[in-house]
Amino acid sequence: MEIMNTNMKLNSRDRAVLMRTPFLSGLSGNSLGRMFGSMTVLSLPARKSVFREGEDADAFYCVLSGYVRLYRLNREGREADIRICVPGDTFAECLLYGDKKYPFHAQTAEAATLARFDAQAVRELAEQESDVAKAVMISLSHHLLTAMDCVANDRLHTAPQRVANYILTRCPVDGGPASIRLPFQKSLLAGMLGLAPEALSRAFSALRKTGVTVRGRVIQVGDVQALREMNVHQG
């Protein structure tokens, strides 16, 4: 069942996440206050819809904890993830100057806390305060780059390459061995990479010969540099 705490006080962790987002980190005290004024906080259980495609788009969101899937359905009901939002991510700001309807579904992937910003209020604020407008532009730019990356990645790389890329983005930059822990279920990662869970699983086993071992959520990389080069020489 749904739990929604409007005007709930933020706990310190959530508050820290919120202040660190590109959206709020650059704001003056005045703008910040007004942004908080247009904001409410909500907590949702896992697999709960935040909004559905086609609904009136009257707010955008920032993830404070948990994960949110943005996805679309085809006519047969199969779903494809467009983006996985992690703590600190904002989503659906594109509606600020875009459509009047949400162009995709949003659903929590686990229990999540979200900050909800009233679209109309922020739109007006952005017209008046250049630091808010700048925050919106930074955020939109970043998401646009990420989305274009995603298109290129889907079109250029095979499943093992995408997985290797993902691992590399979460590894310390130097070569040598590394160990990372996935912050969420593998099925969520699969969707993020545009793969079926089975394909992700097979991609992991294909990477075994490049020194990648997986146990549960823990991924061990024998040699980060070698993994990077595998991606250069073959698929």
Partner DNA sequence: GCCCATATTTGATCGGCGTCAAAAACCGCT
Partner DNA sequence: AGCGGTTTTTGACGCCGATCAAATATGGGC
- Non-local (6+) Cβ contacts of 169 within 8 A are none
Contact 2, 44 (CB under 8 A): yes
- Closest to a second copy by CB, 44 vs 192, is 192
Query: Which own/partner contact pairs does 185-189 have at CB distance under 8 Å and 24+ positions apart?
Result: 185/109, 186/217, 188/67, 188/69, 188/84, 188/109
Burial group, residue 146, by CB count within 10 angstroms (0-12, 13-18, 19+): exposed
Residue type, 178: A
- Closest to DNA by CB, 20 vs 217, is 217
> Residue for token digits 């706990």?
11
Please report whether residue 127 would count as binding a second copy according to CB under 8 A: yes
Spatial CA neighbour of 227 closest among 155, 167, 180: 167
CA separation for the pair 147, 144 (Å, rounded) = 5
- Choose which of 165, 201, 210, 213 interacts with DNA (CB under 7 A): 201
> CA 158, 170, 192: angle at the middle one, nearest 5?
45
Residues in contact with DNA, shown as a per-residue x/- string from 64 to 83 under the rule CB under 7 A: --------------x-----
Stretch in the footprint of DNA (CB under 7 A) among 2-10, 35-43, 99-107, 215-223: 215-223
Please report whether residue 196 would count as binding a second copy according to CB under 8 A: no
Please report whether residue 2 would count as binding DNA according to CB under 7 A: no
Q: Return the one option of DNA, a second copy, none that residue 148 interacts with (CB less than 5 to 8 A, by type).
A: a second copy
The CA distances from residue 78 to 68, 75, 196, in Å, are: 18, 7, 11
Binding residues for a second copy restricted to 49-108, rule: CB under 8 A: 70-75, 78, 80-83, 93-99, 103-104
Stretch in the footprint of DNA (CB under 7 A) among 11-19, 59-67, 83-91, 214-222: 214-222
Please report whether residue 202 would count as binding DNA according to CB under 7 A: yes
- Closest to DNA by CB, 36 vs 184, is 184
Instruction: Dig out the tokens for 32 from the structure.
Output: 């910040």
90 bridge partner residues? 62
- Choose which of 88, 175, 194, 197 interacts with a second copy (CB under 8 A): 194
- Choose which of 3, 16, 46, 148 interacts with a second copy (CB under 8 A): 148
Binding site for DNA (CB under 7 A): 78, 158-160, 185-187, 194-205, 214-217, 235
